[in-house]
Amino acid sequence: MVLAYKINFIYKPKKLWNVGAFICAIISIVIHGMIGFDLVALFEALATFILMYGFLVIRHMTGNAWGNILIFFIVWNAL
């Protein structure tokens, strides 16, 4: 969240396009490691991107992240 906040300080986010959230979602995919290049790995990378981007955009729009944190942990553990 801090990294997304610092990037958004430099590049002001539009309504749904949030550069800080996008970069953090890409970093999350790289850190968690998209190993392999098969269909399951692509779905896993897509799910990670959607979760992280959505998590940070909703936090930016509402100013509250507690519901997102709870949903993130539930969905992340389900994957």
Domain range annotation of the chain: 2-78
Whether the model pTM is above 0.85: no
Asked if 7 and 19 touch (Cβ cutoff 8 Å), the reply is: yes
H helices of the chain, in order, are 2-10, 19-32, 39-62, 66-78
Bin 33: left if φ > 0, else alpha if -120 < ψ < 50, else beta. left
pLDDT value at position 77? Answer: 66
pLDDT digits (tens, 9 = 90+) for 10-40: 777 777 688 888 888 888 888 876 777 788 8
Asked if 53 and 72 touch (Cβ cutoff 8 Å), the reply is: no
